[in-house]
Amino acid sequence: MLSAASFFDLKDWAHTELFTEAEPVWQAFTRLKSYIAQALKPNLQGIVRSGPVLQQTMVLHQGNVLTSELDLRPGDVTKGKFQVIHDGKLLEGAIVFYPGACLMDEDIFVGPGSVVEPGALIKGPTIIGSNCEIRQGAYLRGHCLVGDRCVLGHTTEMKHSAMLDGAKAGHFAYIGDSILGNRTNLGAGTKLANLKITGTPVGIKINDKIYDTGLRKFGAILGDDTETGCNSVTNPGTLLGRRCLVLPALSVKSGYYVDGSIIR
């Protein structure tokens, strides 16, 4: 019930080795740093040398950095609709970095078709997949693992967390020590709180049994297709199954919520 397979469809995700079937899903947090260190293949060295704050639009395509004769045609990044034309040719899979984007170090990978907007700040080690949109003001604090077709939006902060494919946190969200499943969506202002006021390790009560996670910082696990309403807060150690709905402006108690739960 508590394994990663209970929360996520992993067959198409590129980072399945983060999880093991025999362990509770939260054990992934104990491996996240080492997994990212092993899987990371930095590809922005040519961009980072111009920073950390970029002064002009820069496009990375097949290992080449382009800064001139660029025609950017915005569209839905997650659907591959953002087009980059260079010298009259469409560049498939081009990665776009707008002026004002801040890349703090070289331990960063960004996948084909992704766009990093002005004012976004990314610290390594971080892996970002294909066709992701890192919007203005997003803050990735390191040890971030982002799948394909994800959105990290305005004033959204992420640290030591993972987003599976299609996960979206578009506005004013906090994602700390958490895992967002496929196609999850955080309503504006959602906060995934990750630290108890007492500072003690996070325990999870399920069916009158307390599971000691051994983790001092543990935010939330959101199963595939789960959504949170605007200005909702999950307390440390919240496990939401697949297709759950959290209504707006709620404080969700820690614990396990079965698939399809509606938290009112």
pLDDT tens per residue across span 38-92? 999 999 999 999 889 999 999 999 999 999 999 999 999 999 999 999 999 999 9
pLDDT reading at 224 higher than 90: yes
Give CA separation, 77 vs 94, 202, 211, in Å.
Answer: 11, 37, 40
pLDDT at 208 over 90: no
In a domain, 44, yes or no: yes
146-176: per-residue pLDDT in tens? 999 999 999 999 999 999 999 999 999 999 9
Q: Are 189 and 171 in contact (CB under 8 A)?
A: yes
CA distance 101 to 61: 18
Mean pLDDT of all residues in 101-124: 98
Q: Are 202 and 218 in contact (CB under 8 A)?
A: yes
* 230 located within any domain: no
Per-residue confidence (pLDDT) for residue 50, from 0 to 100: 87
Query: Shortest CA distance to 163 belongs to which of 187, 189, 142, 144?
Result: 144
The reply to whether 200 falls in a domain is: no
Q: How confident is the model at residue 199 (pLDDT cuts 50, 70, 90)?
A: confident
Residue 55 domain flag: yes
226 burial (CB, 10 Å; 0-12 / 13-18 / 19+) is buried
Query: Does residue 247 form part of some domain?
Result: no
CATH code where residue 161 lies: 2.160.10
Q: What is the domain count for the chain?
A: 1
CA distance 255 to 13: 26
Backbone angles phi, psi at 77, to 5 degrees: -60, -40
Q: pLDDT higher for 77 or 1?
A: 77
**Is position 252 within any domain?**
no
Asked if the structure places residue 262 within a domain, the reply is no
Q: Would you say residue 215 lies in a domain?
A: no
Q: Which domain holds residue 9?
A: 4-194
Indicate if the pLDDT at residue 207 is higher than 90. no
Cβ atoms within 10 Å of 99's Cβ, excluding its own? 13
